[in-house]
A and B are shown apart, each in its own frame.
Chain A
Amino acid sequence: MRVIKRYVKLYGSFVRINLMREMEARGNFVASCLVILCFPMFSLIFVGAIFSQTKNLNGWSVNQYLVLVGSYMIVSSLVFTIFFKNVFELPEYIRKGQLDFILLKPVNNQFFVSARYVSFGEMMQGIPGAVLIFVGISGGNLSIDWWRWLLYPVFVVCGVIIAYSTWFIMTIPCIWWIKMDFAEFFFNLFDLGRYHPDMFGGFAKTILTFVIPFGVVAATPADLLLNRLGWLSAIWALVLAGGLLYISHRFWKFAQTRYFGASS
């Protein structure tokens, strides 16, 4: 309990420092928030393009799809707010030898490299995401049980953990191959979260659910709201989140035994 309290306090300090830094350049902060608020435009264009060609995409109506895209944007806003700058900087720590100093700090180093920065501007993505969900629900006249709203954040957190762990696992090989940089590819792969695995036939569905599980990050919370979530899918999302987080931790520990430092 004391350990948890210590980490909560530490994270509070990170948040405070980052907020102070963002507020140093308020104009830039407001400008980035405005730019990020434009982000849903791309999603709307995408949804509009699909449903201008068909009324029903393998069992998905436009309103149901809006709920999926809205959920994707909420998961995305959390992933980018909490982890974007942190995981993005990891290859730089390795290249510049800064990881040497991080490993010496009296704190869990995965926590430190994953939580040191907070990108507040990215939080803005969540607002249009929530709006899309409500538009989808009211447009489709969907009635949602109260307990689904209560469980919704649980599966959103699962999506965030799946995305973070996958990105972290993808970034760790930088310890061996210092030129490797997966950020751009993570963005591309994470973008797959706006699709539901059920929209595709066999092969693509399997890949999006099991091999590169970005199809699960937003689909599970959206399915929960839309009353489409089966027990197996719910359990799979929970197992995947826990399993990937554990694998990322073990892989990070293993990679450290192969790290020789780059500062010299």
Chain B
Amino acid sequence: MLVNKKIEPLTPWRWRFVFRRYWTLCKVAFQERMEYRWNVLFYAMLALLPVMVGIYLWTTIFNNRNDPQAVKYITTYYLVAGFLGWRIAQYQWTIMFEIREGRMATGLLRPMSYPAKTFWFEVGGRTWSTIITIPVFVLAAIFLGENFRTPENGWIWLLVLLSFMLAYVLNFFITASLGLLTVWQNQPEGFFALYGFGSGALGGTMVPLALMPGGIGDILQWLPFAYIYSLPARIFLGISAEQLAQGLAVQVVWLVIAALFFKWMWQKAIKGFEVYEG
């Protein structure tokens, strides 16, 4: 057995040790990404383009219908969902390369959990790139003027943040499970790219679920993708307390299911894992 770690009790000292270990990983990733600040800024501007095109398209449609409220809704939705959706990491690629190149084998031998290491390293990198990205999206919001509406209540910002963090972890469990498929299928790039695009589309980045035809949105709102890509944006726009409670509850349920599924996949993958290089 490659991994047979004895689980030690989490004493306060050990908690501190575990925290410091992952905090250091976060800092390393943060500093590494800082080196590439101009690239990140360029990425942000590129990521903004499809969002702005979507806004233009829907603004054209709703302006033709003379519906200014819908223009405001769609503008804010696209910008917030575009920004937050872009901040969601696609872990399947990282795991695919690590398995294929045998780097996962060295990761498994380190005195830390491989999934936790992968998770926190990306969180550190994403934190830095988010700091760089915010001004680009703020400028876009200013450019959109009164069509972009901000929440009146400060609590809503906190709820958006909470929902986004849950979405990020939920997406980690799903994409990491997907990445583990590389253990059995060595060429999954096409499938991963399709997932990357498809999950966003089914989650409401391409079209808000409420605008989807034929009741498709009603079905999709129960899939996990809606709780990764559109729930934080919907909270930002303002939903009722009942919808908020229901949304967060479904998000947590999906999080638990995805975590259990990941645990199962991880156990299977470790058994089937073969080192190709390294």
Binding site for B on A (CB under 8 A): 21, 25, 28, 32, 35-36, 38-39, 42, 45-46, 48-50, 52-54, 57-58, 80, 84-85, 88, 92, 96, 119, 121-122, 177, 179-180, 182-185, 187-189, 191-192, 195, 199-201, 204, 207-208, 212
A154 to B185, CA, bound (A): 36
Q: Which residues of A contact B49 (CB under 8 A)?
A: 188-189, 192, 207, 212
Q: Are B213 and A48 in contact, with the CB atoms below 8 A?
A: yes
A12 to B4, CA, bound (A): 48
B204-215 Cβ-contact flags toward A at 8 Å (1 or 0): 001100011110
Which of B20-28, B114-122, B189-197 contacts its partner? B189-197
Nearest CB of B to A53, in Å: 5
B107 at the interface (CB under 8 A from A): no
Q: Which residues of B contact A180 (CB under 8 A)?
A: 36, 39
Q: Which residues of A contact B62 (CB under 8 A)?
A: 53
Closest to B100 in A: A92
Given A85-B189, A189-B49, A53:B206 Cβ within 8 A: no
Q: Could you write out 22 A-B pairs with CB less than 8 Å apart?
A: A25-B187, A35-B191, A36-B190, A38-B198, A45-B201, A50-B61, A50-B207, A53-B65, A54-B61, A54-B65, A84-B189, A88-B189, A119-B189, A119-B190, A177-B36, A177-B39, A180-B36, A182-B46, A185-B47, A188-B46, A192-B50, A199-B57
Q: Which residues of A contact B50 (CB under 8 A)?
A: 188-189, 191-192
B261 at the interface (CB under 8 A from A): no
Contact check: which of A21, A36, A92, A191 meets B194 at CB < 8 Å?
Answer: A36
Q: Which residues of B contact A184 (CB under 8 A)?
A: 90, 196
B88-127 Cβ-contact flags toward A at 8 Å (1 or 0): 0010000001000100000000000000000000000000
Q: Are B201 and A53 in contact, with the CB atoms below 8 A?
A: no
Q: Are B196 and A42 in contact, with the CB atoms below 8 A?
A: no
Q: Known pairs A36-B194, A45-B201. 19 more at Cβ < 8 A? A: A25-B186, A42-B201, A45-B207, A45-B213, A45-B216, A46-B207, A48-B212, A48-B214, A48-B216, A49-B207, A50-B57, A54-B61, A177-B39, A185-B46, A187-B193, A199-B60, A200-B60, A201-B56, A212-B49
B43 at the interface (CB under 8 A from A): yes
Q: Which residues of A contact B259 (CB under 8 A)?
A: none
Q: Which residues of B contact A177 (CB under 8 A)?
A: 36, 39
Q: Are B185 and A195 in contact, with the CB atoms below 8 A?
A: no
Q: Which residues of A contact B207 (CB under 8 A)?
A: 45-46, 49-50
Nearest CB of A to B77, in Å: 13
Q: Are B56 and A28 in contact, with the CB atoms below 8 A?
A: no
Nearest CB of B to A47, in Å: 9
A187 to B200, CA, bound (A): 12
Q: Give how many B residues have a beta carbon under 8 Å from the other chain's beta carbons.
A: 41
Q: Which of B25-39 contact A (CB under 8 A)?
A: 32, 35-36, 39
Nearest CB of A to B57, in Å: 6
B52 at the interface (CB under 8 A from A): yes
A184 to B47, CA, bound (A): 9
Q: Are A188 and B47 in contact, with the CB atoms below 8 A?
A: yes
Q: Which residues of B contact A204 (CB under 8 A)?
A: 52-53, 56
A18 to B90, CA, bound (A): 27
Contact check: which of A45, A57, A58, A199 meets B212 at CB < 8 Å?
Answer: A45
Q: Are B211 and A189 in contact, with the CB atoms below 8 A?
A: no
Closest to A39 in B: B194
Q: Which residues of A contact B196 (CB under 8 A)?
A: 184, 187
Q: Which residues of A contact B65 (CB under 8 A)?
A: 53-54
A111 to B36, CA, bound (A): 29
Given A45-B216, A179-B39, A192-B50, A84:B193 Cβ within 8 A: yes
Nearest CB of A to B81, in Å: 13
Q: Which residues of B contact A201 (CB under 8 A)?
A: 56, 60
A195 to B56, CA, bound (A): 11
Q: Are A208 and B53 in contact, with the CB atoms below 8 A?
A: yes
Nearest CB of B to A66, in Å: 14
A182 to B47, CA, bound (A): 11
Nearest CB of B to A192, in Å: 6
Nearest CB of B to A240, in Å: 18
Nearest CB of A to B129, in Å: 11
Q: Which residues of A contact B193 (CB under 8 A)?
A: 84, 183, 187
B267 at the interface (CB under 8 A from A): no
A183 to B197, CA, bound (A): 12
Nearest CB of B to A263, in Å: 14
Nearest CB of B to A120, in Å: 10
A28 to B186, CA, bound (A): 10
